[in-house]
Amino acid sequence: MHKLLVKTTLKNYNVYVGDNSLEEFRKNLSANHSKVLFLIDKNVFKKCLKIINKILPASKDYHHIIIECSEKNKSIKTVEKVCKYLSNNKFDRKSVLVSIGGGVLGDVTGFCASIYMRGIKCYQIPTTILSAVDGSVGGKTGINFNGIKNLIGTFYQPDGVFVETEFFKTLPRREVISGIGELVKYALIIPKLYNFFLEEIKKIYLNREVSIEVIITSLKIKSEIVNKDEKEETGLRKILNLGHTFAHGFESASDYKLTHGKAVFYGIICALLISERLGLIDNKIITQFLNDFGFINREKFVNQLDTQKIINFMKSDKKNFNGTINLVLVSKSGILTDIPIKEKAVFTTIEKFKKMFG
């Protein structure tokens, strides 16, 4: 088992990865708390009951709710349901919320924990590759609102993260590939680890082999960035948003038919194309990237998405300022953030991207 200490201004916490991480969860839970509410993803409950049955009795006074998880349910309605349960069952300030699910449930759980009684303890047990290598750490919580992704949310760090890779065995293939999207991001953010991530991604794609090393390396990169800029104030943390403004546009315009990770992968390609258009990188970087990662399967329906609709969603992204689309781009000297881009350039880039997939 590996342990990683995440340091933030308000709280330090440990991430445990691998064998015995759930044993660590039990030890953590035995500390000073009253009731425990487990929020469990419905698919995880169905497919991973054996592991779940080992987790639940970790606490004497535990409750659980099964939640059907999708972007549509990452909503104020789900938050209301959880908060009502907490209130009706007299959960107090020493209560604990635990997420057993992917990034959707992790974001909802963190948000509920941050607002109930002005904040209660929260633990994350991620069950998707995507949430294990990214979403479970860093303290961004949120829900979709008014048709806009992650519009409402808080910065609220968990009290511990416990990654049990057994969960990944039941993931549908599309969710395995979705996890890859966020890993591709790390390959570009830390160029000296490009080949490491490329090889690890191939292993995941071909054999579903998710090494402890790739999880720890990803979370280490993320936690070091979060440690320096927890609330995205200096701009450093924004580099983690590479590809994400395009991704939110693609996801929303597809009515969430496209998974988050796949949308991030496409968003990264668009960010590279626009970076080239602005002369920030040479075309050979894109050629190399597509040669290396071109094996990731393509979703033909993306071509049918309306470009203006994608842009309209991108315009609602909270990273924008004064109505202008602000992007994270790639340059020869590293990742650039907050680059305002004209709508026409975004339009042309998306059209070019679609032609590449035609």
Binding site for ligand NAD (CB under 6 A): 41, 43-44, 47-48, 69, 71, 74, 101-105, 107, 127-128, 130-131, 134-135, 138, 140, 150, 167, 170-171, 175, 178, 260-261
Asked if 15 contacts 159 with a C-beta cutoff of 8 angstroms, the reply is no
- Residue found by looking up tokens 């979705």 in the block: 178
| For ligand NAD, the closer CB: 35 or 185 | 185
Q: Least CB distance from residue 81 to ligand NAD, whole Å?
A: 17
Kindly give, in sequence order, each residue whose CB lies less than 8 Å from that of residue 292, ignoring residues fewer than 6 positions away.
Answer: 198
DSSP characters for 133-176? IIITSS-EEEEEETTEEEEEEEE---SEEEE-GGGGGG--HHHH
Amino acid at 307: T
| For ligand NAD, the closer CB: 107 or 299 | 107
Q: Is 276 helix (H, G, I), strand (E, B) or coil?
A: helix
| For ligand NAD, the closer CB: 59 or 252 | 252
Q: Least CB distance from residue 278 to ligand NAD, whole Å?
A: 26
| For ligand NAD, the closer CB: 132 or 346 | 132
CA 44 to chain centre: 17
| For ligand NAD, the closer CB: 72 or 84 | 72
Whole-angstrom Cα distance, residue 339 to residue 93?
42
Q: Least CB distance from residue 299 to ligand NAD, whole Å?
A: 15
Q: Least CB distance from residue 230 to ligand NAD, whole Å?
A: 12
| For ligand NAD, the closer CB: 101 or 267 | 101
Q: Least CB distance from residue 133 to ligand NAD, whole Å?
A: 9
| For ligand NAD, the closer CB: 36 or 130 | 130
Which single residue brings its beta carbon nearest to ligand NAD?
A: 103
What are the start-end ranges of the H helices in the chain? 21-29, 42-47, 49-55, 76-88, 103-115, 129-130, 173-189, 194-207, 212-228, 244-253, 260-277, 283-293, 307-315, 343-356
- Residue found by looking up tokens 């009253």 in the block: 34
Q: Least CB distance from residue 128 to ligand NAD, whole Å?
A: 3
Phi/psi zone of residue 139: left (φ > 0), alpha (ψ -120 to 50 degrees), beta? left
Q: Least CB distance from residue 261 to ligand NAD, whole Å?
A: 6
